Amino acid sequence: MESTRITDTTSVNKSRKVITSAKSYLYRESSSCPGAYELLVLREVSKKGEESYVLPGGSKEGKESLEEAAARELTEETGYCDFQIQNYLGSTTYELDKDIIWIKTDHLFLVKLLSDKKVDQNLVEYEKKVIKEILWVEMERAFSLLTHGCHPEHVGIVREVLNV
């Protein structure tokens, strides 16, 4: 797995912060196409108006495990609470050069939705502003839509596990 630096410039004067996060490829069987799968993606719009499609997930808190972080973030961002974490897909590390430099490692999981049971979302203020829609999308289309976090290695494992 390769590391990616997302920026054109760098500065030794900027501070750096390390973040560990967990994200989920949440899937379900398609109701309209037997034998096919749909993937949940979040449609986000930044304050600059830039649209992106991302996987649900976020930072690990305290001493929680990566699996606990993935489950918590999935429920907080989507409301879905009846699912099963099936596979650890790997990780990717990258840098975001903003006001400080964020060195971020995303850990990805394949998660199966067991039922449509939901609880209230628990979004932080930033998420309330940017998350515009929760979408179930045919899996191959979802892979092409994802703006961040869709690496060929992870997609290959998802396809292999699900036989698609």
Where do the domains of the chain lie, and which CATH numbers do they carry? 19-93+107-162 (3.90.79.10)
Instruction: Return d(Cα 161, Cα 86) in angstroms, integer.
Output: 9
Strand partners, 135: 41
Query: What percent of the chain shows pLDDT beyond 90?
Result: 63
- Answer yes or no: is pLDDT of 142 > 80: yes
Closest by Cα among 127, 128, 154, 126 to 139: 154
- Rounded mean pLDDT, 101-129: 89
Which ranges of 22-151 does DSSP label H, i.e. alpha helix? 66-78, 125-130, 139-145
pLDDT (0 to 100) of residue 6: 54
User: pLDDT class for 18, splitting at 50, 70, 90?
Assistant: very high
Which ranges of the chain does DSSP label H, i.e. alpha helix? 66-78, 125-130, 139-145, 152-162
The answer to whether 30 and 124 are in contact (CB under 8 A) is: no
pLDDT in tens, 33-42: 888 999 999 9
Mean pLDDT score of the chain, rounded to an integer? 89
